[in-house]
Amino acid sequence: MPGSRKRIRATPSVALPASTEPPASLPDMPSPPGPVLRCAGRTLDLARPLVMGVINTTPDSFSDGGSLYRDSKLDTDLALCRAQDMVAAGAMILDVGGESTRPGAAPVSAAQEMDRVLPVVERIAAELDVVISVDTSSPALMTAAAAAGAGMLNDVRALGRDGALAAAARSGLPVCLMHMQGEPGTMQADPSYADVVAEVREYLRRRVSECEAGGIARERLLLDPGFGFGKSVAHNMQLLGGLGQLAQLGLPLLVGLSRKSLIGRLLGREVHERLPASLALAVMAAERGARIIRTHDVRATHDALAMWSALQEQDNT
């Protein structure tokens, strides 16, 4: 709420203790701006956790499978409707993906991924005022998506493919670097870590230096521990508990926990029964410092986080 960090402006009649005395040179402006992310002409305020809605253009996703297809064809009208609903429900970012990273999913060709993602990006960019993120590891798609109006890149391989770092650097867009152990096809077979929080943190720290060396400024980077990407239930819970240690890297954290199989394993819930647990996880991640929450259920997640933010602001008054 506005004015939550009130400053004492009037000259006090008695001297205040030194620690509460406003500095003589206090500039005439509201509380200092918090962290922001510049996304191709739109600025995201990261002071409060934001919702990123998932727009999945694959025919076979496990949790929202093929829902944008009509007569086995991707329908951009349907995609635009979904996008519109998500923006109305409070999404500040839409994450458009065309590669299924489901364990065991067939790999997709770069051309096929482009054919799925680009028409949807173009359509949303033409019609909605929202930051479009593109979930891809493909350098060609990164370049084309930036030209089509994307405002952010999201790579589950943290720009690890040949040419991806250079393409992302040239795009000028912010990039989310995600940790994954192994590759989607086999990553859940036998995930193994001595200390998952330390290893994920060290991996992300190294990728940040490599990105900086390759021409991507720190201000353009976001980090994601990659829940469910080569992690057991215990690993996922350790990472959630240790999110604060990842936040110490000093970059904004993005997390995706929505409908993930750790919920199925812990509670025995099918994909479509995972909303209550997903909301609890979203709030717990926000509590531990996550700035962007990637979700399939935008309205519910937005409302849960808005309640968390309202209490935060009350606590900071």
Give yes or no for a contact between 44 and 92, defined as CB atoms under 8 angstroms apart: yes
Q: Using the rule CB under 6 A, is 57 a contact of ligand 7PM?
A: no
The site string for ligand 7PM over 59-98 (x = CB under 6 A, - otherwise) reads --xxx-----------------------------------
**In this complex, which beta carbon is closest to ligand 7PM, that of residue 180 or of residue 304?**
180
CB of 64 to ligand 7PM, least distance (A): 8
Q: Which residue has the tokens 């996304």?
A: 39
Q: Using the rule CB under 6 A, is 156 a contact of ligand 7PM?
A: yes
The interface with ligand 7PM within residues 10-29 (CB under 6 A) comprises none
CB of 106 to ligand 7PM, least distance (A): 13
Alpha carbon separation from 97 to 68, 104, 249, 253, 288 (Å, rounded): 12, 17, 27, 19, 27
Q: Active-site residue 260, yes or no?
A: yes
Q: Using the rule CB under 6 A, is 99 a contact of ligand 7PM?
A: no
d(CA 228, CA 64): 17
The bridge status of strand 175-178 relative to strand 152-155 is parallel
Stretch that binds ligand 7PM, among 17-25, 31-39, 58-66, 230-238 (CB under 6 A): 58-66
**In this complex, which beta carbon is closest to ligand 7PM, that of residue 226 or of residue 242?**
226
Catalytic residue among 201, 220, 260, 291: 260
Q: Using the rule CB under 6 A, is 135 a contact of ligand 7PM?
A: yes
CB of 135 to ligand 7PM, least distance (A): 5
CB of 95 to ligand 7PM, least distance (A): 7
Q: Using the rule CB under 6 A, is 256 a contact of ligand 7PM?
A: yes
CB of 62 to ligand 7PM, least distance (A): 5
Q: Active-site residue 6, yes or no?
A: no
Query: Hey, what are 167's tokens?
Result: 């393409």
Would you name the residues annotated as active-site residues?
Answer: 260, 294
Site residues, ligand 7PM (CB under 6 A): 54, 61-63, 100-102, 135, 154, 156, 176, 178, 224, 226-228, 254, 256, 260, 294
